[in-house]
Structure 1
Amino acid sequence: MNKVDIYIVDDHGLFRQGLKLLLSNLNFIGKIVEANNGEEFITGLKNNPVDVALIDIEMPVMNGIEAAKRAREIQPSIKILALSMYSDKNYYLSMIDAGACGFLLKNSNFDEVEKAITDVCNDKSYISIEILNEILKYPDKASFNVLDSELTERETEVLLLICKGLTNSEIADRLALSKRTVDKHRENLLLKTQSKNTANLVIYAIKNGLLQI
């Protein structure tokens, strides 16, 4: 893996410093930039593009939802990992809509943080099981609309492999398809399920009984 540049966005300085110290010990981590709130992050991102941003959801000045939206406007390729407390559960779906591809509890073990960064850099999603359970309890089903048309058998097969964390190339190998064909299936899945990213697809599959946890 190439060096991964990180932005840590959180209004608690001690948390940022501790996470920065731990991340700096990983050999695949490049530069690490800090911001105290979403507005400071957005201002800094224009001159400091990064691969992954770990963003607290609840912050003063500009919260994580707005910061994620603006960050993806500035740098569409950025991977957003939301840092969450249990009290943030009402914001989970909004963070997915804003483009987050992963969720971590702020009291997670560091091994989980490392895995989350690695997964999102490999175009996978990462949602801790505790947060996933909270998302599935969330009563607002606006992000899980009824399909305009049924998924084909192949689309369902691709969806389940996506949920297992396989990349498009890995799915192509598994199903003896071209990567371009799998790319198209993923595109169709996003359109049919009205999902914004892989994290949304995983939650959609679970919410609609296609995948058990």
Structure 2
Amino acid sequence: MTESEKPTPPTRICLIEDHADFREALREALESTDRFEICATLSNAEDALEYLKDSAAPDVLILDLGLPGMDGIDAIPLIRKAAPGTTVLVLTVFDNKARVFQALGAGASGYLIKSDGLQAIVQGIVDACHGISPLSAEIAKMVFDTFSSFKPASPEIELSEREAEVLKQLADGLSRQEVADVLFVSKHTVSTHIRNIYEKLQVHNVSGAISKASSMGII
């Protein structure tokens, strides 16, 4: 078997969720394909930090915010320090502005809402594995609305017309698939545009791209 023929190893995921039923349902959804491997399921941040001391860091860590003991937001920078190569995704019921911006500011790479349903949550995790930082639609709109209230500066970076169009659709809360449908292109094409946007704006997630493009008057 050549190197190119070797199967891609599954993405290793650590779940930190105190509600056992939801944790089990999400674990089963993720393990229903060979894309993911659940390396740990934990109910609080303290146990997660202990786990990271003694075990290989996961590729993705999915973190609830309303945990017993240490709050999820307080745990994010500690997790990032313990496992700097791990992508931290928030998955919670909280959708208020303060919690969203605190989590993103603490270093979360994405913010998903439990009420979006397992299918949307799993798609968000898949997006994260492809370098796209996922935000629930309502969270993306909140971020855009917040930053669009600031007076835009003169743009110094130019996005192509299609790149700006993709970013505007994302800012309006559309998913990657919905953007593809609106623009009559493939999801792969949308992902390529998003990667180009990140490179041009020198950001690492959708919220950062929306924030910077809005402040520069690009969208």
TM superposition score normalised by structure 1: 0.72
Aligned-pair identity in percent equals: 23
Map residues 55-204 of structure 1 onto 2, 5 A cutoff. Answer: 55-136=63-144, 150-153=155-158, 156-157=159-160, 160=164, 163=167, 166-167=191-192, 171=196, 185-186=200-201, 189-190=202-203, 197-204=204-211
- State the AA in 2 paired with 1:34: T
- State the AA in 1 paired with 2:40: V
2:186 is matched with which residue?
A: none
Segments of structure 2 that go 5 or more residues without pairing to the other structure are: 1-7, 171-189
Contact 1:68-1:98 at 8 Å conserved across structures? yes
Question: 2: CA distance between counterparts of 1:101 and 1:145?
Answer: 26
Work out which of the residue numbers 11, 14, 27 in structure 2 matches 1:20.
Answer: 27
Aligned-pair distance for 1:145? Answer: 10
1:145/1:23 CA distance change after superposition, 3 Å: farther
Number of residue-to-residue matches in the alignment: 187
Contact 2:163-2:193 at 8 Å conserved across structures? no
1:145/1:84 CA distance change after superposition, 3 Å: farther
Aligned-pair distance for 1:45? Answer: 1.9
Contact 1:7-1:32 at 8 Å conserved across structures? yes
1:54-75 Cα offsets, whole Å, 9 max, x none, are: 1112222112212221111122
1:122-157 Cα offsets, whole Å, 9 max, x none, are: 111111112223344559x9xx8987x85232xx44
TM superposition score normalised by structure 2: 0.70
Aligned-pair distance for 1:166? Answer: 3.3
1:137/1:90 CA distance change after superposition, 3 Å: farther
Question: 2: CA distance between counterparts of 1:112 and 1:43?
Answer: 30
1:126/1:169 CA distance change after superposition, 3 Å: closer
Q: Which moved more, 1:126-135 or 1:70-79?
A: 126-135
2:180 is matched with which residue?
A: none
Cα RMSD for the two superposed structures: 3.3
Contact 1:68-1:80 at 8 Å conserved across structures? yes
1:55-99 Cα offsets, whole Å, 9 max, x none, are: 112222112212221111122221111112245432111111122
Contact 2:64-2:90 at 8 Å conserved across structures? yes
1:33 is matched with which residue?
A: 40
Segments of structure 1 that go 5 or more residues without pairing to the other structure are: 173-181, 191-196
1:4 aligned to 2:29?
no
1:25-63 Cα offsets, whole Å, 9 max, x none, are: 122011341111111111112214111111112222112
